[in-house]
Structure 1
């Protein structure tokens, strides 16, 4: 029994704790981490064209590291849409203060706590136009949108919200980064189900532990919100803290 427990400890140490610790050391050595919310840069990262200069419909999902020490292990994600001919983008975030589902609280492609976002999904044209009504319906149907229905860890949180949208609109065809803590949260009554892309199976024990195997998501093992895994479709490894290392995952 002790040997089994020791081996389990070594697996947890090697897959989860060691890479997280290494990333924490690297993060602490950075000199560009914003010291506070007010001091952070929230300006556009110039990833999207001006809405007035882009007649086509656009759908995007972005992920950016969160602020201060939490950036060691976590990303914040959000959804952006723009109908064909629209003069403005619409951005949706789930946050833990004020209105829990925030519309246009920040610039569509803005930095998050000073950290530049990375695109997870970017779809333009007729396909984007077709998906936008489904995305808006998914946002409206999010069941944890009321004041107080937010839990930073293990969820439901900002990433649980975006995972819900992607689950309702599997045509988005992408997986959130492994560092999107809360993306795997599901109520214990729904601990077994399909992955958000509906290309595989997911088991989640309230976000504290779980496993997912799917064509889009790859293989992911979740331990206390930390994810280790492998992407076969677009070859990459997934490492706690560091995130995804490998081929560009963006759905274009």
Structure 2
């Protein structure tokens, strides 16, 4: 019994605590804005002009969140555009006011000065066909009332995007391991990658599958390994070596 406890403690230290401390040290050492007022929220210029891309599109963007949370977590949001539209629509969940926000920031705006990246993109006829389903999933988000947002373990911004992905599996989208709150649910369910997962309200869980590999979550942090697109997954760092 003591040996089991000892080895369990060693695994928790190696897989969760040590990576968080290592990435946290790097994060703290970098120059960061002191508050949201000092942060840069401007466009990062990574999206094409809507006129240069007349077809419909669905994108998911992610950027490290603010403060110490950014050492381990990203903030994700949806960017949608109907065919022929003059602009993009950005949908996300925030901690203040009505949780679900539309066009509060630039579609590809920085988040607390952190550069966003496009982690999923679908364009053309397939995107046009799925846009009504995505918009219906946004409208049906169950935690859309004021006061329902919770930073940890959820429901938060990543819970919102994950719920849309779950409601529209045809997207084939998935959130990164650093999207804490993506597994804010309880039970046994399919993953976006075609595997299976079990979660206890985002506090602990396991995901496994051909594309998922083996991922273990503890208090929202994820550690594991992928085999088909080889990657080592560490808390704070995310998927290292993913193609």
What TM-score do you get using the length of structure 1 for normalisation? 0.92
2:235 to 235, 240, 245: 240
SS of 2:58's equivalent?
A: strand
CA–CA separation in structure 2 for the residues paired with 1:231 and 1:159: 21
Deviation per residue, 1:4-58 (Å, 9 max, x gap): 1111000000001001100011111112x12110111111111111213321111
Corresponding residue of 1:180: 179
* Aligned 8 A contact 1:163 1:196 in 2: no
Corresponding residue of 2:14: 14
Within 5 Å, give how 1:122-201 maps onto structure 2. Answer: 122-186=121-185, 188=186, 191-197=187-193, 199-201=194-196
2:209 to 209, 214, 217: 214
Alignment CA distance shift 1:244-1:104 (3 Å): same
CA–CA separation in structure 2 for the residues paired with 1:105 and 1:231: 36
* Aligned 8 A contact 1:174 1:217 in 2: no
SS of 1:22's equivalent?
A: helix
1:46 aligned onto 2:63: no
Alignment root-mean-square deviation, CA? 1.3
SS of 1:220's equivalent?
A: strand
**CA offset at residue 69 of structure 1?**
1.1
CA–CA separation in structure 2 for the residues paired with 1:135 and 1:156: 19
**CA offset at residue 216 of structure 1?**
4.3
CA–CA separation in structure 2 for the residues paired with 1:70 and 1:91: 22
**CA offset at residue 232 of structure 1?**
2.6
CA–CA separation in structure 2 for the residues paired with 1:205 and 1:111: 32
Corresponding residue of 1:101: 100
Q: Which runs of 5+ in 2 are unaligned?
A: none
SS of 2:228's equivalent?
A: coil
CA–CA separation in structure 2 for the residues paired with 1:34 and 1:177: 24
Give the count of matched residue pairs: 243
**CA offset at residue 119 of structure 1?**
1.3
SS of 1:229's equivalent?
A: strand
Deviation per residue, 1:133-168 (Å, 9 max, x gap): 111011111111111111110011110110001111
CA–CA separation in structure 2 for the residues paired with 1:41 and 1:232: 37
CA–CA separation in structure 2 for the residues paired with 1:127 and 1:41: 34
CA–CA separation in structure 1 for the residues paired with 2:135 and 2:79: 10
SS of 1:51's equivalent?
A: coil
Corresponding residue of 1:25: 25
* Aligned 8 A contact 1:168 1:196 in 2: no
